[in-house]
């Protein structure tokens, strides 16, 4: 027992490290673990988005030069669905890249090579801001549903609905679009980390969500199919 409240940034945080350079990734992981944090490692952008959805980390350390996609896309992707602080790791010692990263929603950047004490200090600062930002994520309502994106909590007529992490991620993805249709591929990418994941998964999980959320799952009025496009929240 540490006696610290859960809001203290000095609590062990879960940090997602998205870095394709295996040597640097291991060094970062070891450094962060030595500082008392939990670490989730991702070697590509797709893996990064997948672990972001799966582990809901407290902070993301993001390399901009990734093999499968530009790290800038990941900033946008993460920021669309979570207030998680993002610190960009960049070898690009150029002002425009840093400005672009910050404009897209990154909280800070560290230029490689960096000093460990400086990186840890920036992580502490970003975690402090993250605790404040989480309270400001929106609550989306649809009919009897209240989807609290900050607390990752769903209420139906005031009662908590128990959803699996994937069910929640799928619903949250629809919720952040506030009623606009979300393409099948975007949902697969966001929840399963690949646009090539089987559409069948999506149908199964949409079915499960309807059973838990709709008054009559056979005639849904909350989670609506857009034929040939995707789904949207009413």
Q: Which residues make up the interface to Ca ion (CB under 5 A)?
A: 20, 63, 65
End-to-end CA distance of the chain: 45
Q: How far is the CB of 109 from Ca ion (least distance, A)?
A: 14
User: Measured from the CB atom, is 63 or 167 closer to Ca ion?
Assistant: 63
Cis peptide before 231 (omega within 30 of 0): no
In 43-150 the beta strands, taken as DSSP E runs, fall at: 59-63, 86-90, 108-111, 139-142, 145-148
Query: Which of 156, 173, 158 lies closest to 212 in space, CA to CA?
Result: 156
Q: How far is the CB of 106 from Ca ion (least distance, A)?
A: 16
Residue nearest to Ca ion (CB): 65
* CA–CA dist 155, 147 (Å, integer): 7
Q: How far is the CB of 62 from Ca ion (least distance, A)?
A: 10
H helix intervals, 11-70: 22-34, 45-55
User: Measured from the CB atom, is 40 or 213 closer to Ca ion?
Assistant: 40
User: Measured from the CB atom, is 78 or 202 closer to Ca ion?
Assistant: 78
User: Measured from the CB atom, is 19 or 167 closer to Ca ion?
Assistant: 19
Q: How far is the CB of 67 from Ca ion (least distance, A)?
A: 8
DSSP-based three-state secondary structure for 59: strand
* CA–CA dist 229, 219 (Å, integer): 19
Q: How far is the CB of 20 from Ca ion (least distance, A)?
A: 5
Q: How far is the CB of 70 from Ca ion (least distance, A)?
A: 11
* CA–CA dist 68, 140 (Å, integer): 32
User: Measured from the CB atom, is 101 or 175 closer to Ca ion?
Assistant: 101
User: Measured from the CB atom, is 43 or 223 closer to Ca ion?
Assistant: 43
**Cβ atoms of 81 and 176 closer than 8 Å:** yes
């Amino acid at each position: 027992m540490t006696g610290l409240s859960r809001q203290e940034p000095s609590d062990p945080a879960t940090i997602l490290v998205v870095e394709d350079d295996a040597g640097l990734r291991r060094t970062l992981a070891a450094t962060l673990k030595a500082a008392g944090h939990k670490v989730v490692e991702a070697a590509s952008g797709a893996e990064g988005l997948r672990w972001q959805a799966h582990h809901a980390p407290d902070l993301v350390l993001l390399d901009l030069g990734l093999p499968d996609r530009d790290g800038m896309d990941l900033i946008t992707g993460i920021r669309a669905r979570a207030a998680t602080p993002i610190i960009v790791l960049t070898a690009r010692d150029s002002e425009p890249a840093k400005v672009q990263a910050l404009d897209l929603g990154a909280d800070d950047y560290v230029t490689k090579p960096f000093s460990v004490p400086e990186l840890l200090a920036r992580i502490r600062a970003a975690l402090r801001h993250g605790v404040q930002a989480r309270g400001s994520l929106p609550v989306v309502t649809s009919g009897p549903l209240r989807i609290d994106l900050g607390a990752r909590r769903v209420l139906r007529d005031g009662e908590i609905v128990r959803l699996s992490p994937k069910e929640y991620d799928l619903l949250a993805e629809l919720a952040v679009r506030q009623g606009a249709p979300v393409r099948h591929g975007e949902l697969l990418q966001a929840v399963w980390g690949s646009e090539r994941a089987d559409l069948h998964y999506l149908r199964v999980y949409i079915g499960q969500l309807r059973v838990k959320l709709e008054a009559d799952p056979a005639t849904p009025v909350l989670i609506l199919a857009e034929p040939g496009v995707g789904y949207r929240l009413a």
